[in-house]
Amino acid sequence: MSVTAGFVPLPVRRALYELKTVVARYPPLAVPIARLRHGDPVGPDTEIVIEGFPRTGNTFAVNAFNFAQPRPVRVACHVHAPAQLIAGARRRIPAIALVREPEETILSFVIRHSHVPVGQALRGYLRFYESLVRYRDRLVIGSFDEVITDFGAVIRRVNERFGTLFAEFVHTEENVRACLEQIERDYGAREERGEALERIVARPSPVRARMKEEIRPEYRAPRLSGLRARAERAFQVLVATDGATLP
């Protein structure tokens, strides 16, 4: 029996989110749970994993990848758990870890998930990306900026790293528009409309941009300086080319 979020007390929802981000680091727990809940988890027929913390370009990356392929490809995606990437790395499956700098990621995330405070969202970000550092050399890192400007280069690195022959996404205005139109169609089937839709839709939104500026001071509050520093460090380590590790 499912219970809608509106009937779950706020402290319970926050506790569940905290538990989810802890469990999400462990493939033996997170992947079976994902099969019962959402997304496309890693399985025996997975050909590539494309995964990141929410609001890091997941929907665009998966749409652009599928758009470019001349045949259907089994993509593990949208579980939003580091376990997806860890499982892929352990099985030597080609995997793209999507990474976005923490400030914009967290601001967008708490707009999408208004029951999660900024500090708790930062802890979720840390649990996601710090757990991937040890697997850095088994993953292709796709930064948000690169995904939305030259995703073909990310796919090229996958082919070079894993010896695959995936078609590269050609980042033309026409192809990007086709992907965004598909996203609009997918979100158009949801119940949300107006501001509620703008909070969640996986494409640029002036409404969301305004909301970000309203909550940015909360993200930059002194009490969160330690978490921010760790998040920035995890981000920099993952996007670095020298294979550095966290201290």
If one counts the domains in the chain, the total is 1
**pLDDT above 80 (res 157):** yes
Q: What is the CATH number of the domain that holds 138?
A: 3.40.50
Establish if 156 belongs to a structural domain. yes
Query: What's the token pair of residue 111?
Result: 């707009």
Establish if 247 belongs to a structural domain. no
106-145 residues labelled b (16+ CB within 10 A) or e (exposed): bbbbbbbbeebebbbbbbbbbbbbbbbeebbebbbbbbbe
Per-residue pLDDT averaged across 86-99, rounded? 97
Listed in sequence order, the DSSP H helices in 24-143 are 27-37, 58-68, 82-90, 102-112, 118-130
Q: Predicted confidence band at 241 (pLDDT cuts at 50, 70, 90)?
A: low
Q: How many CA atoms lie within 13 A of 157 on its CB side?
A: 17
Name which of 32, 147, 38, 37 is nearest 87 in CA terms. Answer: 32
Establish if 243 belongs to a structural domain. no
**pLDDT above 80 (res 130):** yes
**pLDDT above 80 (res 240):** yes
The helix (run of H) or strand (run of E) holding residue 97 is strand 95-99
Establish if 21 belongs to a structural domain. yes
Establish if 239 belongs to a structural domain. no
| Domain extent at residue 113 | 5-234
Kindly state the percentage of the chain with pLDDT values over 70: 90
Q: Which residues contact 122 (CB under 8 A, 6 or more apart)?
A: 102, 106, 224, 227, 228, 231
Q: What's at 115, amino acid-wise?
A: H
Classify burial at 69, counting beta carbons within 10 Å of its beta carbon; exposed 0-12, middle 13-18, buried 19 or more.
Answer: middle
Name which of 17, 149, 34 is nearest 86 in CA terms. Answer: 34
Establish if 30 belongs to a structural domain. yes
Establish if 240 belongs to a structural domain. no
Q: Are 43 and 91 in contact (CB under 8 A)?
A: no
Establish if 163 belongs to a structural domain. yes
